[in-house]
Structure 1
Amino acid sequence: MVSEARFVVLYLFVIFTALATSFRTAIASPKGHRYNVGDDIPLFVNKVGSMYNPSETYPYYDFPFCRPDPVIEKKRTLMEVLNGDILTNSLYVLKFRENKKFERLCEKKLTKDEVAKFRDAVSNDFYLQMYYDDLPLWLGFGDTEEDEDWFHSEIPPLYYLYSHIKFDVLYNENQVIEVQAFSDLQDGVDITDDIETNVTFTYSVVWSKTEAPFVNRMGKYSVASFLLDIVKLRSFSLIYRIVIIAKLIGMLATLLLQNLRDDIIKSSMVNEEGMKEVGWKYTHGDAFSNPPYTSLLCAVLGTGTQLLTLFFFVFLLVLLGVLYPYSHGTLYSSLVVIYAFTSMVGGYTASSFHVQLAGTSLRRTILLAGVLYFVPLFAIFLVLNKVAISYRITASISFNTIVVLLLIWTLLSILMFTIGGVLGYTFKSHFRASCSTRRGPKETTTLAWYRKTLAQMFLSGVLSFCTVIMELDYIYTSLWCHNIFTESGTFFIMFILLIIYTAILSIGMTYVQLLGEDHEWCWRSVLRGGSVSIFMYGYCIDFYSRSTMSGFMQLLFFFGYNACICYALFLVLGTVGFYASLVFVRHVYHAVKNE
């Protein structure tokens, strides 16, 4: 067991070190970012999108902006493909430390249809995104001008298209530190009416010196936000909730331990007087009997452990500054890589429990663990990708990229699952039951309604949901409303508290279940632990109804990917619930055995 533990620790350390090193080098390395005065640094245009529907993004040149000849797309990395980025060359010339004032970009005569397209984008608060020296910048299309008493006014609003962009660039010696883009309504062109309109697009560049170091240039994106974020108020409220949850956990643990201690004392008196065993002691010969659908249970535990390991890796990378919350592409690609490598953890856990629970087919268990989460995730991804292709948005992924993702899963993930399964079988250990197990388990007595599975799932789900409900709005606005995630440390603490709270609730519910002389706790603990994800998905419906998102495409993306997230959370917290109940059952019957 010692050599097994050393192997697992070394394996996790190697993965984390490799990922941390690679992502840190990719994101924050100063190599290739040093320039001389007058050096041409290309500005790449990326995509345009709606502030209301975050999944609705289109290639930049789908709109009639000034186009170079030829239009050349930058070769995309896996990170950029997963994020829907299409970096393309542009006519903007921003040479290092060279100021420009009202430089002419091009002159276009917009047709009626093009004017209508721009006006529709302005009315829906479309933005455009660019990259300069690997730094992202965002800018609105235009603005509207309305009558001050617009609610009672019959005069329609005026729509203006920005024709001038001002770039403010900060540099430190020979490196670019920060870039921002601004436009003003006074430089706008009226596009209210469907008439042909001449537009002269111009831009200005202003370079300013700063003392900020290169290594900190991405820091602004970890604290910036499109939405108002009152950090001090949030921090105070979060600390208050953390204290309340911690006290609640302490109260539940104290109450449970006190009742358990009293039960053990009573059971000792029963043995001395020769009376019949009742309550949870009555099931001591059945509590460790093999559960039904053993292979599926082992697969759930393996996949849940793998995803829990993945969550902790991602949290550590974010907390250490290796991953930046604003960079969804980096996050997506890192999830693909970490998922593949942590498959060994899933295979090892599934195989280990399979051997302990005397399953019938190890190969089937490992196969189930490999497909239990990936296949539903990939199926939803294929459906949404088909929708994205039909809508011609940048979130669509080509067939070649899909093949690459399948190869990563087939060659790397399955290989890791197999290696983990072999190791789990090699280092096998017998199931450590605290007391002897009957060959034929007793039949479960008729249970009261509050002891049944659905009632306990509902109660566990509601109580766990109350610990995270205050954070869900912030999390969903970060995922779907252009609000940049800035409080990863606080979220990590809340996640740990949710795990602890789930474990305590699972122990309490298992105790109540055993009191009712019901020994079938294995599957029940998984369902109780993961039930909070059902309530979280219900909260998705409420959030969508309150948001500004609209359209069939955005609806599918929102509920499809949230289903994947909630399913992953179900597996993780279900696994936590099982582990907690297993430790409790072993401990309580071991204590009785010692008596």
Structure 2
Amino acid sequence: MYQDKEEVVLWMNTVGPYHNRQETYKYFSLPFCVGSKRSIGHYHETLGEALQGVELEFSGLDIKFKDDVMPATYCEIDLDKEKRDAFVYAIKNHYWYQMYIDDLPIWGEYFVIKVKWKKSDVKFEDRFDKYLDPSFFQHRIHWFSIFNSFMMVIFLVGLVSMILMRTLRKDYARYSKEEEMDDMDRDLGDEYGWKQVHGDVFRPSSHPLIFSSLIGSGCQIFAVSFIVIIVAMIEDLYTERGSMLSTAIFVYAATSPVNGYFGGSLYARQGGRRWIKQMFIGAFLIPAMVCGTAFFINFIAIYYHASRAIPFGTMVAVCCICFFVILPLNLVGTILGRNLSGQPNFPCRVNAVPRPIPEKKWFMEPAVIVCLGGILPFGSIFIEMYFIFTSFWAYKIYYVYGFMMLVLVILCIVTVCVTIVCTYFLLNAEDYRWQWTSFLSAASTAIYVYMYSFYYYFFKTKMYGLFQTSFYFGYMAVFSTALGIMCGAIGYMGTSAFVRKIYTNVKID
């Protein structure tokens, strides 16, 4: 709320080439002149703004509420050859600026010193709607993609239910008949299928420490995604600078017990003893990946003198969050997980000696299953990926978080269904290596997403240069990896429940 003649601050943010949205520089890195006014009210920057390269600087313009300002010269500057060349370069590369007034963004390619106050009938809570693009995000293609994905879910769930229930019913009947045979008849009979590996199916996975850490991290990423989308739907986070990133960081730190609980309990059930090491790996797996990528890109940003360069103080703040918030909360979750659900309670006893894995057809090999497992999950989300990419890499503001929530639910259902089918056929081939296979077959969705990012870069954008290319593919690698870890954890959790269920219902001698 402003009083008449109260100060209204015009903030200058950044300038940069139109086709490289992430390549931004301080507004006054170009030789613009500054207004004569110097004193303004206090301003403080949030963590999300600092990480996103927001560089607000006071314009020096004296703007007062309801006081019109006619076009006039407010400052002058002498242009030498160096300054002139800077402006020529900016014009040739289609530089444009971003400003903020009353927390509303302003974009443009040229700036004229004119203020005209007009009364508006738009309510304050609706004033950001003019920046949104309903014709783009609510296009019939978007609606059709959601409907298509929904129909895929119905079809896939129905198909999985029909195939597995009919097949399992026949398996149960066959195994019940075998229970009535004597030992000689059973030896002469044709024994095969998933029951034959009951003594190995609950054997600990290879590399349980890494596997448990990935599962815990994936569960945390899912929790963060779900909570942030809900908050964004309720609070309209897109209307405030850096609020989405700040919220994601806060939620990630607050949900660290989820990581510790699921990762620690799984590691304990698999007989792991180095639980402190597992806790550290689980706690820092995602932060190390994100910070490592950001650190590499930061060198390039510093070389370019771009505003995307993360200040040292912000780096220290992020490190403090990791060591003094994420790690202790992860420790709490690990202790709870080990004590509440860390005891193995498998429905079948694990044999002391592993059963040999018989030869099978090439398309039943785990490597083939892993490569094919991510196709359908990717197919259910790839249209939404286009809208998400466009909002981040182009000048669109993503606001249809209801669509995003629906796509997240669809992705989870499709991923679980696909991994269950893959695991069933793997076990039926008497291959008990289902744990890593279920995780990696779901996580392979990330490979297809990253491949799609190459198509998007070369055919849907006009990005260029070392800075933008490294920024794009670096953070797309982080996004794809996080998505893959989340899908892998979802696939494993659903498949684990399925495996436990089918072996619980079979009488094992």
TM range (shorter): over 0.9
Residue pair 1:48, 1:57 contacting (<8 A) in 2 also: yes
Structure 1 stretch displaced more, 414-423 or 433-442:
433-442
In the alignment, the residues of structure 2 paired with residue 298 and residue 88 of structure 1 have an alpha-carbon distance, to the nearest angstrom, of: 47
Q: Of the candidates 374, 379, 382, which is equivalent to residue 295 of structure 2? A: 382
In the alignment, the residues of structure 1 paired with residue 241 and residue 148 of structure 2 have an alpha-carbon distance, to the nearest angstrom, of: 29
Q: Which residue of 2 aligns with 1:59?
A: 26
Secondary structure of 2:347's match?
coil
Post-superposition CA distance 1:211-237 (Å, at most 9, x none)? 33333333444x248xx6162413431
In the alignment, the residues of structure 1 paired with residue 361 and residue 137 of structure 2 have an alpha-carbon distance, to the nearest angstrom, of: 48
Q: Which residue of 1 aligns with 2:280?
A: 367
In the alignment, the residues of structure 1 paired with residue 448 and residue 490 of structure 2 have an alpha-carbon distance, to the nearest angstrom, of: 18
Q: Which residue of 1 aligns with 2:201?
A: 287
Q: Which residue of 1 aligns with 2:160?
A: 252
Q: Which has the higher contact order (CA 8 A, sep 6+)?
A: 2
Residue pair 2:35, 2:75 contacting (<8 A) in 1 also: no
Structure 1 stretch displaced more, 273-282 or 312-321:
273-282
Secondary structure of 2:128's match?
coil
Residue pair 2:8, 2:63 contacting (<8 A) in 1 also: yes
In the alignment, the residues of structure 2 paired with residue 320 and residue 103 of structure 1 have an alpha-carbon distance, to the nearest angstrom, of: 43
* Aligned 1:235-384 pairs, distance under 5 A: 235-249=142-156, 250-273=158-181, 274-275=185-186, 276=189, 277-324=191-238, 327=240, 329-384=242-297
Q: Which residue of 2 aligns with 1:548?
A: 462
In the alignment, the residues of structure 1 paired with residue 270 and residue 46 of structure 2 have an alpha-carbon distance, to the nearest angstrom, of: 44
> Counterpart amino acid of 1:467?
S
Q: Which residue of 2 aligns with 1:431?
A: 344
Residue pair 2:36, 2:74 contacting (<8 A) in 1 also: no
* Larger proportion of strand: 1
Shift of 1:323: 1.7
In the alignment, the residues of structure 2 paired with residue 366 and residue 449 of structure 1 have an alpha-carbon distance, to the nearest angstrom, of: 37
Structure 1 stretch displaced more, 298-307 or 250-259:
250-259
Residue pair 1:290, 1:357 contacting (<8 A) in 2 also: yes
In the alignment, the residues of structure 2 paired with residue 35 and residue 526 of structure 1 have an alpha-carbon distance, to the nearest angstrom, of: 55
Matched, 1:98 2:67: yes
Q: Which residue of 1 aligns with 2:5?
A: 38
Shift of 1:540: 1.3
Residue pair 1:100, 1:204 contacting (<8 A) in 2 also: yes
In the alignment, the residues of structure 2 paired with residue 334 and residue 237 of structure 1 have an alpha-carbon distance, to the nearest angstrom, of: 31
Residue pair 1:298, 1:350 contacting (<8 A) in 2 also: yes
In the alignment, the residues of structure 1 paired with residue 273 and residue 365 of structure 2 have an alpha-carbon distance, to the nearest angstrom, of: 29
Shift of 1:549: 0.5
> Counterpart amino acid of 2:16?
G
Matched, 1:80 2:34: no
Q: Of the candidates 115, 133, 150, which is equivalent to residue 205 of structure 1? A: 115
Residue pair 1:74, 1:86 contacting (<8 A) in 2 also: no
Shift of 1:76: 2.6
Structure 1 stretch displaced more, 507-516 or 482-491:
482-491
In the alignment, the residues of structure 2 paired with residue 487 and residue 139 of structure 1 have an alpha-carbon distance, to the nearest angstrom, of: 25
In the alignment, the residues of structure 2 paired with residue 236 and residue 383 of structure 1 have an alpha-carbon distance, to the nearest angstrom, of: 38
* Aligned 1:456-475 pairs, distance under 5 A: 456-475=369-388
Percent of residue pairs bearing the same amino acid type: 28
Post-superposition CA distance 1:348-376 (Å, at most 9, x none)? 11111122222121112111111222212
* Larger proportion of helix: 2
* TM-score of the two chains, using structure 1 as the length reference: 0.80
Q: Which residue of 1 aligns with 2:472?
A: 558
Change (3 A) 1:291 1:243: closer
In the alignment, the residues of structure 1 paired with residue 205 and residue 137 of structure 2 have an alpha-carbon distance, to the nearest angstrom, of: 49
Shift of 1:421: 1.2
Residue pair 2:37, 2:62 contacting (<8 A) in 1 also: no
Shift of 1:454: 1.8
In the alignment, the residues of structure 2 paired with residue 351 and residue 302 of structure 1 have an alpha-carbon distance, to the nearest angstrom, of: 8
Change (3 A) 1:490 1:331: same
Residue pair 1:48, 1:59 contacting (<8 A) in 2 also: yes
Post-superposition CA distance 1:70-119 (Å, at most 9, x none)? 87895432222111111111132221111222133223443444343323
In the alignment, the residues of structure 2 paired with residue 213 and residue 594 of structure 1 have an alpha-carbon distance, to the nearest angstrom, of: 68
Residue pair 1:460, 1:528 contacting (<8 A) in 2 also: yes
Q: Which residue of 1 aligns with 2:16?
A: 49
In the alignment, the residues of structure 2 paired with residue 354 and residue 560 of structure 1 have an alpha-carbon distance, to the nearest angstrom, of: 31
For the aligned residue pairs, the C-alpha RMSD in angstroms reads 2.2
In the alignment, the residues of structure 2 paired with residue 567 and residue 383 of structure 1 have an alpha-carbon distance, to the nearest angstrom, of: 17
Q: Which residue of 2 aligns with 1:584?
A: 498
Residue pair 2:23, 2:306 contacting (<8 A) in 1 also: yes
Q: Of the candidates 422, 429, 443, which is equivalent to residue 356 of structure 2? A: 443
Q: Which structure 2 residue ranges, 5 or more long, are not aligned?
A: none
> Counterpart amino acid of 1:270?
E
Shift of 1:327: 5.0
Residue pair 1:319, 1:489 contacting (<8 A) in 2 also: yes
Secondary structure of 1:493's match?
helix
Residue pair 2:229, 2:404 contacting (<8 A) in 1 also: no
Residue pair 2:208, 2:272 contacting (<8 A) in 1 also: yes
Aligned residues: 499
In the alignment, the residues of structure 2 paired with residue 460 and residue 466 of structure 1 have an alpha-carbon distance, to the nearest angstrom, of: 11
Q: Which residue of 2 aligns with 1:409?
A: 322
Post-superposition CA distance 1:396-450 (Å, at most 9, x none)? 0121211111011111111111111122223235223122222222121223211
Post-superposition CA distance 1:558-591 (Å, at most 9, x none)? 1111111111111111101111111111111112
Secondary structure of 2:115's match?
strand
Residue pair 2:446, 2:481 contacting (<8 A) in 1 also: yes
In the alignment, the residues of structure 2 paired with residue 360 and residue 335 of structure 1 have an alpha-carbon distance, to the nearest angstrom, of: 32
Residue pair 1:74, 1:88 contacting (<8 A) in 2 also: no
Q: Which residue of 1 aligns with 2:85?
A: 116
Residue pair 1:83, 1:328 contacting (<8 A) in 2 also: no
Change (3 A) 1:528 1:239: closer
Post-superposition CA distance 1:265-286 (Å, at most 9, x none)? 2222233344353111111121
Post-superposition CA distance 1:122-173 (Å, at most 9, x none)? 33322211111222211123xxxxxxxxxxxxxxxxxxxx5x2xxxxxxxxx
